[in-house]
Structure 1
Amino acid sequence: MAARNPRATRPVLRLTYVSRASRPLDPEELAAIGRAGERRNAPLELTGMLMHRGGRFFAVLEGPEPAVLGRMEVIITDPRHRDLRILSEQRVPTRRFENWTFAALPAAGGTEAESALLAMLAGGLPLGMPDD
């Protein structure tokens, strides 16, 4: 019998947010954000993903509630973004990103769903974020 990942079966807090980049970020900076997230999140049992397009971020962070809330305190004060808006905060029985300590996804728009989400983030601010 294969060993199960205990992280995958414990209830977790899943927090989803959007924000705006405070300045343009090049692909290497975005990759560095992803690498740093992986290093910092793994010991805290945090998983999730980050997408960036058109100066907007969309992220999902999940894990033990104290770790998620502690990481959000750091994220909120990060000068690389502003206008952070929490879209959802849910206690869930399973993770969606079980094997991703933190994946920074390029804005390639590879799937139809990803393309639609990124288009929403890039234009018109339909998520209720204030416009400049």
Structure 2
Amino acid sequence: MYSLIYTSVATTVMQPAKLIEILKYSRDWNKDHDITGCLAYIEGQIDNTHQCRFIQVLEGPEQEVISLFKNIKRDTRHGSITLIKQGKIKNRNFDSWEMGFEKMILDDNPVLQSFFKLDPQVLAAHGDIQNNMLMEFMKTFYNYL
């Protein structure tokens, strides 16, 4: 098994219908390619600007994950794509989710604003793929459902 986690910045505010479309397509594709994972969409004020970001974890067979990430990087709905961590894993973290999803509004969670101000290099430097602080954040969605 192989996993990667990345962040990106949405090019526009994502309307609910567009997020549903992304999820439906992702879940169908992932099911057919033995991929599991979680996608978070975070919207709100960071550094006095309204930003919309994605965090995504992908896990599955190495070639499938790498191929999918190449496709994701070509998607024009987001930019500033930053690979945080990647590597081999013993077990999946999201084994029953073709693609879990969480939407967060930072204005409703002001304590998280400082977390999303962290430089991607700081996030990447912390731990390995299984114990990275961003991965731990994403696992909380799975562990509490």
Give the TM-score category using the shorter length.
0.7 to 0.9
- For 2:16, which of 23, 27, 36 is the aligned residue? 27
Number of the residue aligned with 2:25: 36
Note the aligned Cα RMSD (angstroms).
2.2
Inter-partner Cα distance in structure 1 for 2:114 and 2:39: 15
Inter-partner Cα distance in structure 2 for 1:42 and 1:72: 16
Q: Is the 8 A contact 2:82 2:120 kept in 1?
A: no
AA in 2 matched with 1:92: I
Per-residue deviation, 1:126? 3.1
**How many pairs does the alignment contain?**
111
AA in 2 matched with 1:74: N
TM-score by length of 1: 0.75
Does 2:64 align with 1:76? no
Q: Is the 8 A contact 1:45 1:64 kept in 2?
A: yes
- Unpaired runs of 5+ in structure 2? 44-51, 123-145
Number of the residue aligned with 1:127: 120
- Unpaired runs of 5+ in structure 1? 1-11
Inter-partner Cα distance in structure 2 for 1:119 and 1:71: 30
Aligned sequence identity (%) = 25
4+ long deviations beyond 4 Å? none
TM-score by length of 2: 0.69
Inter-partner Cα distance in structure 2 for 1:37 and 1:25: 16
Can you list the C-alpha shifts for 1:63-118, whole angstroms capped at 9, x where unaligned? 00010011011100000000000000020110000000012222268xx9xx74x7
More helix by share: 2
Inter-partner Cα distance in structure 2 for 1:101 and 1:119: 30
